[in-house]
Amino acid sequence: MNVRIAIIGVGKVGLATAQVYSHNATLTLFDLKKRIPQIKRDLTHLNTALVRVTSSEMILLRNDVFFFCLPTDYNQSVSDLDTDILFHYLYLLQEHRRLHQRYSKPTVIIRSTLPFYAVTKLEEFKNTLNVYYMPEFFTEGNELEQSLKPNQLVIGTEASGKWLKSFIKQCTTLDRNIPLYFTTLKEAVLVKLAMNTYLSMRIAFFNELASFAADQDGIHIPTVIGLMGKDSRIGSRYNNPSFGFGGYCLPKDTLSLANAFYSYNNVLIKNIPKSNDHLFQSIVDEIVRYHPIFKSDGTKTVIGVYKLGNKKGSDNPKGSVSLRLAKALQDKDYELLVYDPEHEKNKAFSHLTFSYELIAFKEKCDLILANRIDQNLKGVENKLFTRDAGLLDI
């Protein structure tokens, strides 16, 4: 028997979820009307059965299982993740079913990242919804691939785990050996936030190490980090110095956990975001100190930003440290030039000036900022501003 599944919110996580949970299922994707054409284009790249895409809230009545994949961005005014849109649709689901006398308890599987305060709010639905929290652990740019081959599935719930095991077996083609771990809601929230906060801490550690080494004679930081990584207890991932941790997930999840720790007598967790902010400001200050806005001939210094993504392979510069640097320098009235063929036509970056030719970009810029370097930057080492230890490879 086909299970009727609705996915609320069809961004990266929603599309990845659609790819996985389309076996023996009737799938409906819900999002804002203005996003429907783009979603339909995105679906052509997915290995899924024919699905329906809609902006009608009637799907809240016509389905058995609801995946909530809505954004929970960091909100400065509440110093935590903003779950308003998530709870708006949870309340809407509950109210629609009450008004239309649908008394069976639908299953809700939340994939949106949750802050700790959300756990208490979810208790309001325990009599009307079967709520599961299944956080995603995708790395940026690899959502579709990793959704099909997850290392593990962590499921936080106060409901029955037996039903969900059966559902996953029926509606996916995932490897049956993928471990499923059932936890409380709070444990699942902490797993998600703590994993990303740990990665942020690791990035911040190596960035501080690189900053220290840069001020010392006789220290070649790639050698130091390379030898550290040969120790199996440390390993060689998330250790390449950069302009700071960025992207969509790490900064907001780290801030959320730091907020949860606010009233506790601890130092480390709360200072990880501060370390990242300190590094960012020191980079801006260094650029301003050694590269004044106006050169000696009276013309403006042209600062180039080589690619906006936060790391190699990233297809979404949202929250990237390169984008943040571009804005900070633009605000200081520098002439800014960006080289990034993947995003030069993106309307979200219409405030930036793009160079469409790599050679012209390298010639025109007085200084080139590169969070991550590659072969394209050969020949401009004297203009290059980077912390990437891979500089030896170009």
Q: Pick the range with the lowest mean pLDDT from 97-101, 204-208, 246-250, 311-315.
A: 311-315
State how far the Cα of 246 lies from the Cα of 279, in Å rounded to an integer.
Answer: 12
> Are 174 and 196 found together in one domain?
no
Residue 89 reports pLDDT greater than 50: yes
> Are 163 and 198 found together in one domain?
no
pLDDT in tens, 124-176: 999 999 999 999 999 887 888 899 899 999 999 988 888 999 999 999 989 98
Which one of 183, 205, 239 terminates a domain?
Answer: 183
Predicted TM-score of the model (pTM): 0.92
Which one of 183, 214, 229 terminates a domain?
Answer: 183
Would you state the pLDDT for residue 1? 58
Report whether 37 contacts 10 (CB < 8 A).
Answer: no
Would you state the pLDDT for residue 300? 96
> Are 226 and 363 found together in one domain?
yes
Query: Given pLDDT bands bounded at 50, 70 and 90, which one contains residue 186?
Result: very high
Query: Given pLDDT bands bounded at 50, 70 and 90, which one contains residue 392?
Result: very low
Q: Pick the range with the lowest mean pLDDT from 9-13, 94-98, 106-110, 285-289.
A: 94-98
State how far the Cα of 330 lies from the Cα of 392, in Å rounded to an integer.
Answer: 30
Report whether 189 contacts 224 (CB < 8 A).
Answer: no
Q: Pick the range with the lowest mean pLDDT from 8-17, 94-103, 198-207, 384-393.
A: 384-393
pLDDT in tens, 346-391: 888 888 999 999 999 999 999 999 999 999 999 999 999 999 987 3
> Are 199 and 163 found together in one domain?
no
Sheet with 25-30: strands ordered across:
52-54, 25-30, 3-8, 65-68, 107-110, 130-133, 153-157, 180-183
At 392 the three-state DSSP class reads: helix
Would you state the pLDDT for residue 86? 97
CA dist 14 → 197, 209, 238, 360, 389 (Å): 23, 38, 26, 39, 35
Q: Which one-letter DSSP state was computed for residue 66?
A: E
Residue 24 reports pLDDT greater than 80: yes
> Are 199 and 275 found together in one domain?
yes
pLDDT in tens, 284-308: 999 999 999 999 999 999 999 999 9
* CATH assignment at residue 73: 3.40.50.720
User: What's the whole-number mean pLDDT along residues 210-223?
Assistant: 95
Would you state the pLDDT for residue 343? 85
Is the model more confident about 71 or about 100?
71
Query: Given pLDDT bands bounded at 50, 70 and 90, which one contains residue 281?
Result: very high
Helices (H), the chain: 12-20, 36-43, 84-99, 117-122, 143-148, 161-171, 185-214, 221-229, 250-260, 268-290, 321-331, 358-364
Would you state the pLDDT for residue 42? 79
Is the model more confident about 301 or about 37?
301
Would you state the pLDDT for residue 393? 37
User: What's the whole-number mean pLDDT along residues 221-241?
Assistant: 94
> Are 219 and 310 found together in one domain?
yes
Closest CA relative to residue 157, chosen from 122, 127, 191, 124: 122
Per the structure, the count of domains in the chain is: 2
Average pLDDT, the chain: 91
Would you state the pLDDT for residue 47? 52
Which one of 183, 218, 244 terminates a domain?
Answer: 183
User: What's the whole-number mean pLDDT along residues 239-249?
Assistant: 94
Domain that holds residue 111: 3-183
> Are 162 and 212 found together in one domain?
no
